[in-house]
Chain A
Amino acid sequence: AQSVTQLDSHVSVSEGTPVLLRCNYSSSYSPSLFWYVQHPNKGLQLLLKYTSAATLVKGINGFEAEFKKSETSFHLTKPSAHMSDAAEYFCVVSVPPGGGNKLTFGTGTQLKVEL
Chain B
Amino acid sequence: GAGVSQSPSNKVTEKGKDVELRCDPISGHTALYWYRQSLGQGLEFLIYFQGNSAPDKSGLPSDRFSAERTGGSVSTLTIQRTQQEDSAVYLCASSLRRGGASDTQYFGPGTRLTVL
Interfacial residues, chain A to chain B (CB-CB below 8 A): 31-32, 34, 36, 42-46, 49, 51-52, 90, 94-97, 99-108
Residues of B in contact (CB 8 Å), total 30
Interfacial residues, chain B to chain A (CB-CB below 8 A): 3-4, 31, 33, 35, 42-45, 48, 50, 55-56, 58-59, 91, 93, 95, 99-110
Asked if A42 and B109 make an inter-chain contact with CB atoms under 8 angstroms apart, the answer reads yes
**Can you show 9 pairs from A to B with CB atoms below 8 A apart?**
A43-B110, A46-B106, A49-B104, A51-B101, A97-B101, A99-B101, A101-B31, A101-B101, A107-B42
Contact partner, A100, options B55, B102, B104, Cβ 8 Å = B55
Chain B contacts for A45, CB-based, 8 A: 107
What DSSP secondary structure best describes chain A's contact surface?
loop
Asked if A95 and B91 make an inter-chain contact with CB atoms under 8 angstroms apart, the answer reads no
- In angstroms, Cα B101 to Cα A15, docked, is 35
Contact partner, A95, options B3, B93, B101, Cβ 8 Å = B101
